[in-house]
Structure 1
Amino acid sequence: MKIYIPFAIVVLACLIAFQPSQATRYAIGSPSERHLTYSFWPPQSNAEGMYRWSDGESWLRLFGYERVSSFQISIRLIGPVQIRGEETTIRFVHQGEALVEVPSPGTWRTYHLLLPNDAPGWHTPQVLVGGTLTSPMPDDGREVGVAISQVYAQPIAGLHLLAGLEYALFLSLLLGLIWYSTHWLLGPRWGVGSLLCVGGALLLWVRIDPTSSSFWLPPLWGGVLIPIGSIALYQMTNYLISTMQHPLRWLGIGSGVGLVGNLLVYTKQWPILGFIGLVLGAALVTAAIIKQQPQEKPKEIGIHWYIFGLIACLILALGLRSFDLEHLPVGMWRDEARHGLLALRILNNPGYRPIYVAQADIPALLFYMQSWSVALFGTTAFAVRIVPALAGALSALSIAYVAHQIWGGRAALTAALLLATSTWHVWLSRLAFAAVLDPLFSLIGLGLLWRIIVGRVSGRDSIIAGFGAGMALGLSLYTYHPARLMPLAAMLWITLNLGRNWAAWRRALPGIITTAVVALLIVSPLLNYWFTRTQDFNQRVGQVSLLDRTNSEFALTTDLNQNLVRYTLMWHVQGEENARHNIPGTPMLDPLTGFLFLIGLLLLLRKGQAKIGLALFALLGVGLIPGMLSTEAPHAVRTVDAIAPALLIATYAGLRLTTALADQPARLRRSMISVGVAIIGIINAASYFGHVPYDPRVWKAFHYTNETGMGQAIHDGACAGPAFVPEKFAATEVLRYLATGHEVRAFEPEAPPTQLPPGACLFLAGDSSADLRSHIAQQIGIQPQVGRYFPGSEQPIFWIYRLPQAQ
């Protein structure tokens, strides 16, 4: 790289970063204030002009003033005075310190504040405008503080050096990344041209509109450091390949370093050292695999062993997903019970045949399937959970099918094993959610599409395969929200493989057209619902989408940057925090699978696997889109479609690893495979069954543990007569579902019934006080019993009073 390129990058970055801030006048209701106000009520107008009411904790954000060491802000406002005979106040807070608190003015008044900006680096100055909350009008239900109509800001002192340097460093990395990417993809001239064009455009933008530029393009460190780190890791691997001697020796060293490092990260012991070990180990193993050229490849597995292996994986998957399904997780979540009630309604009401259920906000396929299990097993937690459990177990076969189409039988068994034991997938499969139905159908469809596009079928067989692919992909759209992106995944799956090979396009076209037509026919009722009831169809998506900026504090770019970091770290460092979906904070992949995943990413970047790599990367990217564009990142359920491609990438690493050892004794290879299988199985099984039953965070996350325990007891016949349940529990969907067909009466614990009919039982929450339990015992003459304990503890889930039946 010539010296003038980095010099030009640094000069451009400094010119942009050290542009002087400008005085800015913000008028409420005008475009100039769209980034200024946060958590204010919408603009209103009267004879004096436009204004906004604060809601008590409202902020003025001075984008574009990060680079100045001090500034002045003038705020024109009015506040209500002596509402209900009480004097009201206003206050201003900056950097956590109260500036002033005074009685609010009864007329419009301008306040001038001189503020320092001594944050350690780039930080957008913010001023809190607070005060007493009142109601502006008798018929207005809002609570408001003060009303502002104009804000004027101007820089006072000089440059905030640390902020400017931080921004210059960020811009240098961003421009360098743009130059490198364009240079690598298109050539040197394109690289220089893109650098000059982008740099000039940014300079002009910052000069003309510093407010918008600071709002949309603050230092987005994740957006530059993650791709730069990926490029550095790739280049380090290339260097190791060119210099490595004795690859088998380094293969062993890298495997040890990487696994130990990932274990340190997984257990949160010396995570920084562990992460360095993980990355270094992955680079060493990748380089050794590429460098090692065995004389012969391992023989393909025989058909009998292949079938036996698939059956074993299926049994293992089903066992992990169905063991004690009635009681693990301990409580039913409200969505699970709601799904059960909908299944019961479909079962009992022949006139109720929905396509999409707005109440549950998902298509109705899950509820039809659960209606069969409810008919068979009754209104139990097992009845609604067994359908996703079976779908999750069968997904081991569907991912095996895809892996077999791409790489063969050994890869198929590896992929099936990884999915069968994946804690991430096991967790979701044990909940009565529709999420795991999506990969089951989409993987079958993608596997059949692969047969079409690589030419394994042609003519009539291609049309038959297309019919199956269309059926599977069409049904996937009836499962869960992320499946709406499956058409995009299928299109990328096709185009990235066929590319510009027009002969291959002509050969595959009949199957592709059949797939599209069949999928469209199957999904047409759902499309009709979408067109006619768009608001219902997109309700949940709109609630969690980052694209809805109504209550967003910062720009979309800031939120996307944050999500990018979180979804990059979720594989090895920090997984989802919601204890309903994951052990809080635990990485989504176990240490060995996570290590193989990182190696697989590096291997698939090689030119020899370009088509397969691009297809799997595209599938992984599509699977992550729902999470990237929504809140609460990382989210295990919304990214359910990322599980399969991640495990396929790990599968490829395992396949290449065994190929690199083909010249080694068969006993060594079998021992390594056995140890790997044991590590994956033990860690994943222990992660779920060793934590979920006994973790209070999981009990708390499911929230409805009292109702679940009471409802299960009622369903199992604990009461010979009516069941008396505290009122706050009786109305919940969980208890209504589990106690269907039984007489349930609600009562207030503070005023319990003094007389109960023979055979009746009365329930109290597990955390009810001893005084309350004693009071009720005196009222009805029966001592309570613990109905059930939380697993591994002496903490009751609920208490029960049982009256004897009449003689």
Structure 2
Amino acid sequence: MLGIVAVALAWLGQRSLPAGVNFDAWLFFGAAVIIFLAAFWPARFDPLLPLPVRRGGLRVAEAWSARVAAGLFAIALLLTLNAAQQLWDLEPFAPGAWWWHLAAIGSALGGAFLLDRGVRLRAPGEPSPAPDLSTRQTLAWLALILGVAAFFRLFRFDSLPFGTWYDEAESGLQAMRILADANFRPIFDGATHGAAHYLYLVAGAFKLAGVETQSIRLVSAGMGLLAVVAAYLAGDELFGRRMGLVAAFLIAVSSWAVTLSRFGMYATMSTPLFALLSVAFALRSLRTQRMADYALTGLWVGLGLCFYTSFRLFVPVLGLFFVYWAVHGRLRMRAWPPATFWLGLAVMAVVAGIVVAPLAVFALKHPDLFWSRIETTFILANTAASDPWLALWENVRRHLLMFNVIGDPNGRHNLPGNPMLDAVSAALLVLGVAYALRRVLQPRYLLLVAWLFIGLLPGILSLDFEAPQSLRANGALPAAYLLVTTALAVLLRAWALAGGRYYPRAAWWPVGALLALTAALNFNTYFDRQANDFAAWNAYSTPETLAARLLADVDENTDAYVTSFFHGHPTLRFLARSTRPYTELSTVDQFPLPFVPGRSALLILNAESRDLYDEAKLLYPNATFAEMTPPLDGPP
């Protein structure tokens, strides 16, 4: 009963926030946290799954497997050195090096799997906890949740969002070059300031679905769907299968995740996906102490580093967790982790290093290009404020409030200014964070708290006029929803210890209602409010997209002229790639223009060229003029 009261008060606190952080909100949230912690302070309400204790040294179970595993790791390192040498000398024209690189990854993973057969702990550990849901039921529910996630990511996919953003077009152009030139195999794309791994995925999407903007966005949508599965895996390792499904559902319907999943950039869902996979397999590694799980953790960490820069600050979170796990075990149980833990960390580091090796080569060879984006967005070096430290503190405040109060103002990332979480999730997040802080000395709760706050740092440390920046802070997205899941898990654990002994499924009805309300709120946010918001509609290089569509329809008897605002823009070069060459109207050009006699002319002007538009109407009264207006309220 007290848990319901706490949730209701947190909801009232969240409902008080549209007017800003005020006394009523503080009062409701404060009362909710006090009641929630007081009611569930005892350790018996902790919903985390117990981890089996595994101790002891190593023994050689199969000498042949152990020797072959060592050989495979040695081969992987040699292959990596060979690939690195070729990339250093020849990139971006070293296609053979990538095959050596893939062979090195395969060799290292094969070595890890064989190592599990070759070496084992001397003493068998405790068995893992029994699952709280059958495999068949779990797969059925997960398939249903994936169906919901696919609907949220693919509904109106051809028209929402409307335009083709600069970076989307640039990625498309580079992917087309990869397909056209078998020798062009870059490591890093200087135009979008990101590793080229994303470009290879886009090139694959072009091969499957054609060269279209939607093909680029399919890559992000696919990552968004995989993130739902990864959320289940992480939730399962923390709380069990049922709560893993809850975490997956929250990611499936989150308007924050949906927005990023429908936006074609390497930066969107890559960090949430690989962070969730890294955490899921890190926790699985500690539970099973298998080298294969440690190796897969290294694989996900390495791949995460090969996409968006925000993942770089997630790596210290994982490192802190492993260090604290070892120290916590030493202090509490007076024993260090088993030998497999230290061997597993070595395997994880080797695999991660092999995966990220090409990017490391580029960073060493071209440090100015590799670090340029971070240098140009770092707040302490690029703020207009007179006091950079004051601007940094303001960034901290804005990012802490973005979940509940005022979210990202950028229409590409969010409904401008809308909180990043729906009202239900935002209220539960407050309770989940409070409970995690109460038990923060436990390693897995420290992981969740550190993940949330360190995940905000890429946004906090970037340009203050963009704050809060939910794209750069996307590493905090999965942590936020796992903390929402924590609050629900505590409530369900409390029910299981009380009325759940007689009515075990009764509590799932109100939880299901909350999840349904969450889905409805997020659907309304993205497909109604955000879809009909001018700032969101206009944020995807929309004027350039409209200009490109006009150019793409120009016939062979018409000469096209565009202002310098449009000329050379990646969106025009991608969408109007097959059109005839067009002429740039510079800022010094004046009417009348030297049109070719006997040919039609198309002039495409941007909104800031209103004077040229009005002058053309006076000089060419018989011409056809049209103003492109948005399908909703907004300027032409």
- Normalised to the residue count of structure 1, the TM-score between the two structures is 0.61
Q: Does 1:257 align with 2:9?
A: yes
Tell me, yes or no, if structure 1 residue 548 matches structure 2 residue 386. Answer: no
CA contact (8 A) 2:379 2:463 kept: yes
1:491 equivalent among 289, 294, 319: 319
What is the Cα deviation at residue 585 of structure 1?
Answer: 2.1
Deviation sequence 1:542-590 (CA, Å, 0-9, x none): 111134379762253x333222222222221122222222222222211
CA contact (8 A) 1:410 1:655 kept: no
- How many Å apart are 1:364 and its aligned residue? 1.0
Are 1:276 and 2:108 an aligned pair? no
Does residue 1:601 correspond to 2:433, yes or no?
yes
- Number of the residue aligned with 2:493: 659
Instruction: State, as a whole percentage, how many aligned pairs show the same letter.
Output: 26
Give 3-state SS (helix, strand or coil) of 1:360's partner: coil
- Give the 3 Å change call, closer, same or farther, for CA 508–445 of structure 1 in structure 2: same
Q: Could you tell me how far 1:794 is from its partner in structure 2?
A: 8.8
Higher Cα Rg: structure 1 or 2?
A: 1
Where in structure 2 are the equivalents of 1:413-452 lying within 5 Å?
A: 413-435=245-267, 436-452=269-285
Give, as a single letter, the amino acid of the residue that structure 2 aligns with 1:274: A
Question: What is residue 104 of structure 2 aligned with on the other side?
Answer: none
- Structure 1 distance, partners of 2:22, 2:16, is 6
CA distance in 2, matches of 1:292, 1:513: 34
SS of the residue corresponding to residue 726 of structure 1 reads strand
Cα gap change, 1:782 to 1:287, in 2 (>3 Å): same
Name the structure 2 match of 1:512: 345
| 2:297 aligned residue | 469
Displacement of 1:654: 0.9
For 2:515, the aligned partner's letter is V
CA change 1:400–1:410 in 2 (3 A) is same
3-state SS of the aligned residue for 2:19?
coil
Amino acid across the alignment from 1:682:
A
Instruction: Tell me which protein shows more strand as a share of its residues.
Output: 1
Match of 1:674 among 504, 512, 528: 512
Q: 1:362 to 1:288 in 2, by over 3 A?
A: same
1:28 matched residue in structure 2: none
Give the conservation status (yes or no) of the 8 Å contact 1:403–1:411: yes
**Residue 492 of structure 2 contacts residue 507 of structure 2 at CA under 8 Å; is this kept in 1?**
yes
Does residue 382 (structure 1) correspond to residue 134 (structure 2)? The answer is no
Q: CA deviation at 1:517?
A: 0.4
1:304 pairs, out of 136, 149, 155, with: 136
Q: Distance in 2 between matches of 1:313 and 1:444?
A: 18
Residues 366, 479 of structure 1: 8 Å contact kept: yes
| Residue in 2 that maps onto 1:742 | 579
Aligned partners of 1:780, 1:498: CA distance in 2, in Å?
80
1:537 CA displacement: 1.1
In 2, Cα distance between equivalents of 1:540 and 1:608: 34
Match in the other structure for 1:649 = 483
Corresponding letter in the other structure for 2:260: L
Matching residue of 1:41: none
Alignment partner, residue 73 of structure 1: none
Q: What's the counterpart of residue 534 of structure 2?
A: 696
Matched position secondary structure for 1:577: coil
- Assess if the C-alpha contact under 8 Å between 1:379 and 1:737 holds in 2: no
Amino acid at match of 1:727: T
| CA distance in 2: counterparts of 1:372 and 1:759, whole angstroms | 39
CA contact (8 A) 1:581 1:637 kept: yes
Query: Residue in 2 aligned with 1:802?
Result: none
Q: Is the 8 A contact 2:595 2:601 kept in 1?
A: no
- Post-superposition shift, 1:709? 2.2
- After superposition, give the CA deviation of every residue in 1:454-478 in whole Å (9 maximum; x if it has no partner): 3x2x4xxx22222222221111111
Aligned amino acid, residue 584 of structure 1:
P
The alignment status of 1:395 with 2:227, answered yes or no, reads: yes
* CA deviation vs aligned residue, 1:153-198 (integer Å, no higher than 9, x gap): xxxxxxxxxxxxxxxxxxxxxxxxxxxxxxxxxxxxxxxxxxxxxx
State the match for 2:523 in structure 1.
685
Instruction: Look up the SS of the partner of 2:512 in the other structure.
Output: helix
User: What is the identity, as a one-letter code, of the residue corresponding to 2:241?
Assistant: G
**Is the 1:336–1:432 Cα contact (8 Å) retained in structure 2?**
yes
The question of 1:288 aligning with 2:116 is answered no
Q: Which residue of 1 aligns with 2:560?
A: 724
How far did 1:708 drift?
0.7
The 8 Å contact of residues 554 and 579 in structure 2, kept in 1 or not, is answered as no
The residue correspondences of 1:514-663 to structure 2 (distance < 5 A) are: 514-548=347-381, 553-554=386-387, 556=389, 558-607=390-439, 610-632=442-464, 633-662=467-496, 663=499
- SS of aligned partner of 2:337: helix
Q: Is the Cα–Cα contact under 8 Å of residues 376 and 382 in structure 2 kept in the other structure? A: no
The 1:757–1:489 alpha-carbon spacing in structure 2 relative to 1, beyond 3 Å, is farther
Aligned 1:77-156 pairs, distance under 5 A: none
After superposition, the Cα gap between the structure-2 partners of 1:543 and 1:795, relative to the gap in structure 1 and judged at 3 Å, is closer
Give distance in 2, aligned partners of 1:337 and 1:375. Answer: 17
Q: Using the alignment, how far apart are the partners of 1:310 and 1:474 within structure 2?
A: 27
User: What is the CA deviation profile of residues 683-703 of structure 1, one whole-angstrom value per residue up to 9, with x for unaligned ones?
Assistant: 11111121222212224444x
Mean Cα deviation higher: 673-682 or 269-278: 269-278
Deviations 1:248-268 (A, max 9, x none): 1x3333222221221231x33
Taking a change above 3 Å as real, the CA distance of residues 671 and 751 of structure 1, as seen in their structure-2 partners, is: farther
Partner of 1:791: 631
Q: Which runs of 5+ in 1 are unaligned?
A: 1-247, 797-807
Q: Deviations along 1:742-775, whole A, 9 cap, x unmatched?
A: 2242364955675688898665557986994895
C-alpha deviation, 1:707, in angstroms:
1.7
Counterpart of 2:180, as a letter, is: N
In the other structure, the counterpart of 2:85 is: none
TM-score (norm 2): 0.76
Separation in 1, partners of 2:167, 2:131 = 48
Q: Alpha carbons of 1:347 and 1:649: their partners in 2 closer, same or farther (altered >3 Å)?
A: same
Q: Which residue, 236, 239, 261 being the options, matches 1:407?
A: 239
- 2:542 aligns with 705
Aligned amino acid, residue 301 of structure 2: L
Offset from partner CA, 1:323-350 (integer Å, 9 cap, x none):
3334322223222222222222222222
